[in-house]
Structure 1
Amino acid sequence: MQRTLNFINPLVHWASGGKRNVRQSLIFPFLFLCFTLLPSGSAQNVTQWRVPEGNAVPSDTAAINAIAFSLDGTQLAIATTNGIKLYDTYTGKELSLFSAPLDNTVALAFSPDNRTVASASGDATLHLWNTRTGEHSTHLWHTDPVVALVFSPDGNTLATGSFREIRLWNLTTGQPTQTSVLKGHRDMVITLAFSPDSKTLASTSFYGTILLWDVKTGQRRHNLPAHTDSITALTFSPDNQTLASGGYWSLDTESTIHLWDIHTGHLLTTVEGHTDPVFALAFLPDSYSTYRNTLASVSLDGTIQLWSLTSTPKSPDVNADGVVNVLDLTLIASRFGQSSPDLNADGIVNILDLVRAAQHIAE
C-alpha cells in the first residue's frame, strides 16, 4: 500500500565556509553523523563531531583514496598509496597498518561488529582484514574493478558492485562464499545500501537508475527511474519503508532528493531546497525521539540540512534564523536558568550541547 508523506520541511542547516571547503568542513563531520553516530543512537558518541574539526588524525604525504568509519565511531580506516591505516578516533593513534600493496583501493567498509574491514580495488579484487590483529583474512575476486561495497546490518552478507553486476557474499560460513550475482545495470555500479532489516538491497549506476533487490532470492523487485545522472547517495528509513536518493553529479537544477516506497516502487515525494547536488543522505534513528522521521542531507552548496517527514517538527533553531548556532543554545540555556550555552557543563560548546538542547525541547 502506498503511503503519503504529509509534510516535508527543512528544520535546520549547518553552513560551511563555502563550496571550496565543502569536502573538508562538511563531508568528514557528516560522515560521522550519518554513518557513525546515527545508527548507534548514543548521545555519548556525539563527541566525535570534534574529531574532524579539532583533533586531526596523523597522516603521511600519501594520497588518500578512501575512508570509512566504524559504526560505533571509535575507528577510522584510511586507504592510501602506502596501505590501509586504522586509527582510534578518540586519540588519533594509529592502531594497525594493512600493508599489502593496495595503491588502487577505492572503497572501504566496516562490518557491523567492527571486527572486519573490507576493501575494494580497481584491479577487481576484494580484501577482508581483521581489525584487531591487522591480518589479511580473505581475498575475493570480481571480473571487473570494484568501486562499491557494503555489509548488511545483520553482518551476514557483503555486497560488492562492479561493471554491470553486484555480487553477494555469505559471511556466515567462516570463509565467504558467493551466493548471488545480480545483473540489471547497464554500466558501473557505484552505490549500494542495505535496508535496516537486511532484506532489501538498493543499487545505483552512473546513469541514474536505482534497482531494488530481494537479498534472499537475488531477484529484482523494482526499477526506479530516479535521477538524470549518477546517484551517489542512498539511505533507508529505520522502519524499512522508505528509500531516499540523491545525486552527486545530478543534472537536476533543483538538486532534488527523491523518497520512494520500497514495497511498491512508487515515488512518494520530491524534496527541494539545496542549490547544488546532494552527495550524502541519512535518516536519523528512532532513538532520537525529537527528530523521529527526520532525513539529513549534505550538498555541495555548503550546507547540511534536516528534513522533517512529520507535520510538527521540533527544532533547536529557537530564534528561527535558519541556522543552529551558539545564539540558539544561549536562548535555550536561559529558559532553564543557565547563563552559558555549554548546556552539559563539560567546558566545550559543541554538538553535545545541541543534543541536550533537543532534549530540553522535547520535555
Structure 2
Amino acid sequence: MKTDFKFSNLLGTVYSRGNLLFAPDGTCLLSPVGNRVSVFDLVNNKSWTLPFAHRRNIARLALNPRGNLLLSVDEDGRAILTNLPRRIALYHFSFRSAVSALVFSPSGRHFAAGVGRKIEVWHTPSTPDAGADGELEFAPFVKHREYAGHFDVVQSIEWSSDSRFSLSASKDLSARIWSLGPEEGFVPTTLAGHRQAVQGAWFSKDQETIYTVSKDGALFQWAYMQRPGADGEDDEMDDENMQWRIVERHYFMQNNANLTCAAYHAQSNLLVTGFSNGIFCIHELPDFNEIQKLNISQNDIDYVTINKTGEWLAFGASKFGQLLVWEWQSESYILKQQGHFDSMNSIVYSPDGQRIVTTADDGKIKVWDVNSGFCIVTFTEHTSGVTACEFAKRGNVLFTASLDGSVRAWDLIRYRNFRTFTAPTRLSFSSLAVDPSGEVVCAGSLGAFDIHTWSVQTGQLLDQLSGHEGPVSSLAFAPDGGTLVSGSWDHTVRIWNIFARTQTSEPLQLQSDVLSLAFRPDSKQIAVSTLDGQLTFWYVASGTQEQGLAGSRDISGGRKLTDRRTAANAAGTKSFTCVTYSADGTAVLAGGNSKYICLYDVQSGVLAKKWTVSINLSLDGTQEFLNSRLLTEAGPRGLIDETGEAEDLEDRLDRALPGAQRGDNAMRRTRPEVRVPAVAFSPTGRAFCAASTEGLLIYSLDNTLQFDPFDLDVSVTPASTLAALSARDFLRALVMAFRLNSTPLIRRVYEGVPVADIALVSRGVPVVYLARLLRFVAAQADESPHLEFNLLWIEALLSCHGRLLKERRGEFEADVRLVQRAVGRIQRELGRLADRNCFLVDYLLSQGVAEKKDQKAIEFAAADSGSGDGEAVAGVEEMGDYTSGEDEWMGLD
C-alpha cells in the first residue's frame, strides 16, 4: 500500500485564540487554531487548513488588501509570510518579542506591528507582479520606521483610509496618532482621558472624527476643534490653536462585565462590542443608537471583526472554542461551529468514509463531514465523558459508551437517540464492540471484570461474560461477526463465541497489560498492543502468536517539563494505546501518549513511516531537549504559576484543580500534553485520521492544492491546450489540461469533446490520469446540468477500464465510490421526477374525463329543456346515475 500520506485538514477545533480575518471579498474567514490557520469558505460551505505550522500558538494574523499575502505571528514573535492562494510559506522572520497588534495599510505598501510598547512599520514584501516593470524580485522584510511613545502594551493599530496616518491604542489609558512619513505641521498627538486600558481606536469615514473605547465600557468621540482659550476669526484656522478634544461620551451599561473586544466599520458607522459575559452589542455612531444586543456565549468573547461590506460579523470565543458568523440585518447565523473543549477519546469513520465521529470527555458526540470540514450534528445526551464509539455495518446507527454508565444507540438519519443500554449496577464503560449485523452490542468497564452483552432490538441485557481477572480495556468483533475478542489488564486476550451454546474461552497469555486490540479485515488475525510497548499478532483460529515487534523506541520521543531524563534515555516507557489495521490489512497504524504516529508493515514487521503530530512548543512533550535558560531554582518556568502577577482581578483568580492535566486548556495548572488517544483508517484506504491534543488531524493521499502541476514542460500552456482542442486533438488537449490542473480549462476541454468521440477518448486515457478523470466526471455529475453527457462519459470510462479498476481496486476504490454516489443521486432524482410526471399525467387525464362528463350533462339537459325545468333537472340526475358506471360512459365516448 502507499505510505505517502500528508496532512490535509484539521477538524475538531475551529478557534483557539488570536484575531479573526475576513478575506477582502468577504467570502472566506481565517481563524487561528493552535499553531495552524484554518480557512472557512462561507459561500461554498467548505473549510481547509493551511499546511504550514508555527512553533507556538498563533497570536496575530494580517492579510494584505489584495488577499494574496498572509502574515501570521506566534506567541514568541516568529512570523511566517504565506502566499494564501497557493498555500505556500514564502519566508520566516522573527520580531524578537510578542506581537500584540498587526495590520496592513489600505494601500498594501506597509504593515504595522505592535511589539510591546513600540510600533514598528515595515514595507510589505514585494511580489513579482508588484514591481513597476514587472521584474522578478522579492524583498522580504525592510523596516520603515519605529515609533516609541506608549508606556504599556499596544493593543490595536488602525490606519487612515489614505494610509498616511495610523492610530494606536494602548494599555497606558491613551491613544496616539502617528504619521507614516513627514507631514508639514503635524505633531504626534496623544488622546488621553480614559480610566482603563483602551481596547480600540478608529478614524471615521471622513477622518474628521476619532472613536476610542476602553475596557470599562466608555466610548469617547473626538473632534479636531479650536482650543478653549483661543478666540478671534484669524486664529480659528491656525493649527497651533486647534487640537483633538472629546465632544461626546457614551457608556455601555454592562453590570460587572468588561469590554473584551470591539470593531468599527467606517462605511456604515457600525460599532460592534463584545463583553466578558458573552453579550455583544451593535451600535450606530455617532448617535450611539443600539441596533442589536444578543448573548452568544456564557464566557468571554475574545475577538470580533466585520467584513468589508459590513453585513457579516465574526466572533471567536476561546473558552469553548466557538466560532460564529452573524448576519445582523437578517438576524441569522452564516456559520456556527464549536469544537470539543475537552480531550477526545475515540474516533470512527462511517462505512462510506464521508463522515468522522468524535467523542470526548466533555460528554459530546460530534459528526464531522470530511469533504466540507464542518460539524453537521452534535449529540449531548451523555452526562459524562464518552469513551468509545462504533458504527453498525450499514452506517445508519452509531453506538457510544460513556462513563455515565450507559451505552446509547443513535439514529443518524433522524439524528436521535433511540435506545439506551444500562447494566444492573452502576458502571463506567470504557470499551465497546458492535456485531456487524447490528443485533448485539457489548461493552466493558474498568470498574468491573465482566463483559455486558445487550440485544439492540429489545434493549435487554443478554449475558455477562465472566473470565477476566482484571478490568476490560478493549473489545472488538470480527468483521464476519462470528467472534468477539476482549483484552484486559490481567495480561490476557480472550476469544468468545457469544452465539454458541457454550461461551467458555481460552485465554491468550501476554507479558503485560493489554491496552488495545484490532481485527484484520479478513477476521483471521488480531493485533494486540500491550503496556510494555510490544505489538503482537495472533491467529484467531488456532490461538497462536504469529509474530511480534517492539515499538517502544519508535513511539518514544519528546521530553516533558517534569521529566528527569532526556527523551533518548526515557525510551522504553512509552506504549501504543490505540492500534488499527489499514483497509487492505497489510499494515497497522498505532499511536499513544507521544507526538508520533507509526505505520508498520504486518508481514515484515518493519516501521514503514512515522509522522510527527505536532511541533507546537506550547504543548508538553514536543521538544527533544529542554532549554536550560528556562530552568530556574524553583523548577521549569513553564510550571510556575504566574497568575498572581496579572493586572486584572479575574485573571489573577485560579479556579483550576491543582495538578489537573486534562480539561479546559485555559484552566489547568500544567501545560497540555501532546498525545494521540485514537487513530482510524478510512474504509477507502486513501486517508486516516488521528485524534490529538490540538484536534482531529486528517492525513490523505489526495492532494487538494489548487495548483498541482504534473509532468509539465514548456510547451504545455493554456493557449496550446485550446489550440489542440480547436484542432480536434481531444485526447491530447485533455491530458494537457490535466497537467496544468486548471479546473476551468479541464471543464472546457471536457465539454468540448463531441458525443461520438467520448468512447474513443476514454479508451485512450492514460492510466496515470484515470483517477483524476473519474473524480472530475463525478464532480461534474453533481454540478453540471448536462445529465446525459456526464452519464455517457461514466459509461465509456467504466466499459473501457472496468477490468483495470477491479484489478487495482485499492488504488481506485475511492474514485469509483465517488462515481457510484453520483450515479445513485442521478437515479434517485430521475426516479422522483418520473413519479411526479406520472402523477401529473394521471391528474391531467382525470381532469379531461371530468370535463367530458360535465359537457355531456349540459348537452343532455339542453336537449330536454322543452319538457320543463323540473324534468330537465331530473333528466340530469338520471343521467348522472346512469353514468356512474365508468364502462358505460367510456362507451359513449
Counterparts of residues 150-229 of structure 1 (less than 5 Å)? 150-163=476-489, 164-173=491-500, 175=501, 177-186=503-512, 188-227=513-552, 228=556, 229=574
- Given the superposition, is the C-alpha separation of residues 27 and 65 from structure 1 closer, same or farther in structure 2, using an over 3 Å criterion? closer
Q: How far is 1:139 from its partner?
A: 1.1
Given the superposition, is the C-alpha separation of residues 267 and 300 from structure 1 closer, same or farther in structure 2, using an over 3 Å criterion?
same
Question: 1-side partners of 2:691 and 2:411: how far apart?
Answer: 25
Partners of 1:298 and 1:334 in 2: CA distance:
38
State the Cα deviation string for residues 163-198 of structure 1 (Å, max 9, x = none). Answer: 21111102342x462343111132x21211011011
User: In the alignment, is residue 258 of structure 1 matched against residue 584 of structure 2?
Assistant: no
One-letter code aligned to 2:575: S
Write the letter of the residue equivalent to 2:605: G
Q: d(CA) in 1 for partners of 2:376 and 2:485?
A: 34
- Aligned match of 1:103: 427
Q: Distance in 1 between matches of 2:536 and 2:780?
A: 46
- Letter paired with 1:13: N
Compute the TM-score of the two structures, normalised by the length of structure 1.
0.72
Q: Choose between structure 1 and 2 for higher RCO, CA contacts under 8 A separated by at least 6 residues.
A: 1
Deviation at 1:224, TM superposition (A): 1.5
Shift of 1:215: 1.1
Structure 1: which 5+ residue stretches go unaligned? 309-313, 321-330, 346-354
For structure 1, which segment, 14-23 or 139-148, has the greater mean C-alpha deviation from structure 2 after superposition?
A: 14-23
Cα separation, 2, equivalents of 1:209 and 1:169: 23
Aligned to 1:352: none
CA contact (8 A) 1:57 1:89 kept: no
CA distance in 1: counterparts of 2:426 and 2:746, whole angstroms: 54
Q: How does 1:259-274 map to 2 (within 5 A)?
A: 259-272=599-612, 274=614
For residues 301 and 102 of structure 1, what CA distance do their matches in structure 2 show? 32
Distance 1:274 1:215, change over 3 A: farther
Alignment of 1:283-322 (within 5 A): 283-285=681-683, 288=684, 292-308=685-701, 314-318=702-706
- 1:99 CA displacement: 3.3
Distance 1:218 1:7, change over 3 A: closer
Percent of aligned pairs with the same amino acid: 22
From 51, 76, 95, the equivalent of 2:398 is: 76
Q: Deviations over 1:274-295 (max 9, x none)?
A: 444333323333xx4xxx5543
SS at match of 1:278: coil
AA aligned opposite 1:113: S
- Within 2, Cα distance between the matches of 1:9 and 1:57? 31
Is the Cα–Cα contact under 8 Å of residues 208 and 230 in structure 1 kept in the other structure? yes
Counterpart residue number, 1:114: 438
The size of the alignment, in residue pairs, is 310
Amino acid at match of 1:63: S
Cα offset, 1:137, TM superposition: 1.1
What root-mean-square deviation, in Å, do the aligned CA atoms of Structure 1 and Structure 2 show? 3.7
Q: Which residue of 1 aligns with 2:231?
A: none
Cα distance per residue 1:249-280 (max 9 Å; x no partner) = 12xxxx22222221232323333354443333
Aligned to 1:349: none
SS in 1 for 2:375: helix
Q: TM-score, normalised by structure 2?
A: 0.31
What is the alpha-carbon distance in structure 2 between the residues aligned to residue 307 and residue 215 of structure 1?
31
Is the CA contact (8 Å cut-off) linking 1:106 and 1:120 kept in structure 2?
yes
For 2:482 and 2:395, the matched residues in 1 are separated by: 21
For residue 254 of structure 2, what is the aligned residue in structure 1? none
- Paired amino acid for 1:316: T
CA deviation digits over 1:109-131, x for unaligned, max 9? 21111111101022101111111
2:5–2:687 Cα contact (<8 Å) kept:
no
Could you tell me which runs of 5 or more consecutive residues in structure 2 were left unpaired when the two chains were aligned.
Answer: 17-33, 35-319, 322-338, 358-365, 557-573, 616-673, 709-741, 749-778, 784-813, 823-893
374, 388, 400: which one aligns with 1:67: 388
Label 1:110 to 1:334 Cα distance change in 2 as closer, same or farther (>3 A).
farther
Residue 155 of structure 1 contacts residue 171 of structure 1 at CA under 8 Å; is this kept in 2? no
Q: Which has the larger radius of gyration?
A: 2
